[in-house]
Structure 1
């Protein structure tokens, strides 16, 4: 579930304070969500969390589900899993479509060669 176009700095990593400013959440909420959801920021220096852009998008989606759409933690987990599966299915379909397009290109090429040989 995309939360719309988010405007935040285009960086590889965000520190927990930056994520808090962007999302309006407290650090303890983020730490709790790390325990409850598939949210695993990298650790720098053993303790400092470094969130990626994907983490930030996930956090904003979780926030929308919990605060705006009033999901429970369990409901939000199920919804995130459903969204993940749907996204993965769309990627698979796109891959298949590209594969079919390539096969059709090859068939078209072979048909042109046959036509030219017959002419």
Structure 2
């Protein structure tokens, strides 16, 4: 799951984030409580507003829990012990998927 961040956008609502990940907002709220790396701001109404950094961290959490099948505790440990390595690998995988999609498009045009 790779989310395209809008350039210049500083905050994303929980609804935007939930829709981008195709999950319920309640799951995003749950992950916010469970994972220390998420630090969304809250507006005057108390609504969570996620920064682009929060969205990247949510991508990592989503990848570990939903795509790789980690338990929550396993994902927490993995993020704590090897966040940099996980992020680097995640970025590489996202770039490779993008290249694959572009190559598939080119192949289909021929």
TM-score range for the pair, normalised by the shorter chain length: 0.5 to 0.7
Q: Over residues 50-79 of structure 1, what are the superposed CA-to-partner deviations in whole Å (9 max), with x where a residue is unaligned?
A: 100010011111011011110000000011
Instruction: Tell me which residue corresponds to 1:69.
Output: 68
**CA deviation after TM superposition for structure 1 residue 19, in Å:** 0.6
Query: Is 2:17 the counterpart of 1:19?
Result: yes
Instruction: Tell me which residue corresponds to 2:90.
Output: none
Instruction: Tell me which residue corresponds to 2:6.
Output: 9
Confirm or deny: 8 A CA contact 2:40 2:48 kept in the other structure. yes
How large is the Cα RMSD of the aligned pairs?
1.9
Unaligned runs of 5+ in 1: 88-119
Instruction: Tell me which residue corresponds to 1:36.
Output: 34
**CA deviation after TM superposition for structure 1 residue 34, in Å:** 1.1
Confirm or deny: 8 A CA contact 1:8 1:22 kept in the other structure. no
Give the TM-score of the pair, scaled to structure 1: 0.63
Confirm or deny: 8 A CA contact 1:65 1:76 kept in the other structure. yes
Taking a change above 3 Å as real, the CA distance of residues 9 and 84 of structure 1, as seen in their structure-2 partners, is same
Confirm or deny: 8 A CA contact 2:5 2:52 kept in the other structure. no
Confirm or deny: 8 A CA contact 1:14 1:50 kept in the other structure. yes
**CA deviation after TM superposition for structure 1 residue 86, in Å:** 5.5
Q: Which whole-Å CA distance do the structure 1 matches of 2:22 and 2:13 have between them?
A: 14
Q: Which whole-Å CA distance do the structure 2 matches of 1:37 and 1:8 have between them?
A: 21
- Which runs of structure 1 show a deviation greater than 2 angstroms over 4 or more consecutive aligned residues? 83-87
Unaligned runs of 5+ in 2: 87-110
